[in-house]
Amino acid sequence: MERREFEVVRALQSQGLRHVVAEHMLSGPGLVRLHRALAQVNGVAAPELTASDIVAGLDDALCAETVEVFCGMLGGFAGNVALTLGARGGVYLGGGVLPRMVERVCAGCFRTRFIANPDMADYLSAIGTALIVAPQPALTGAAAWLSRCAQGTGGLRHAPL
């Protein structure tokens, strides 16, 4: 974890979050918390913004820093999850806020932080990462599955009870 991220965690704790976990920061509501915490760390006042406002406000220094820290933390977290689960086929990222900042995730420090584990960098660098940007990915997947079922190339599998 980067020094800046430790400062953010301390700020969040001072704001009443006793136990700070990744889910507190790596989501739309987390982006808002992160923005507020970075304002405190930087000693500046920040207006109450939504996640959409923060992503749209990249010309504002605090919004840009918020998105950059978010991408770095997401990369580190995703790399740790890949190691924990033994991922080889790829890590797919989804959610409501990520499709609104594709360019920043791709251009930022996400991938660098994903492979930043000094002992496992070779393993992690071989794992692909992808951002799900389809507006309704679950429905797209369900439609593809249903199409395969209708064609007889895939369907329900079951084991006798």
The answer as to whether 64 is a domain residue is yes
State the residue for tokens 């599955």: 145
The answer as to whether 123 is a domain residue is yes
Can you give the pLDDT at residue 51? 95
- pTM (2 decimals)? 0.85
The answer as to whether 157 is a domain residue is no
Mean pLDDT by 10 residues, the chain (161 residues): 90 92 93 96 94 91 95 96 95 90 88 95 96 87 84 61 55
The answer as to whether 40 is a domain residue is yes
Structural domain for 74, as ranges: 3-151
Domain count, the chain: 1
The answer as to whether 17 is a domain residue is yes
Can you give the pLDDT at residue 156? 58
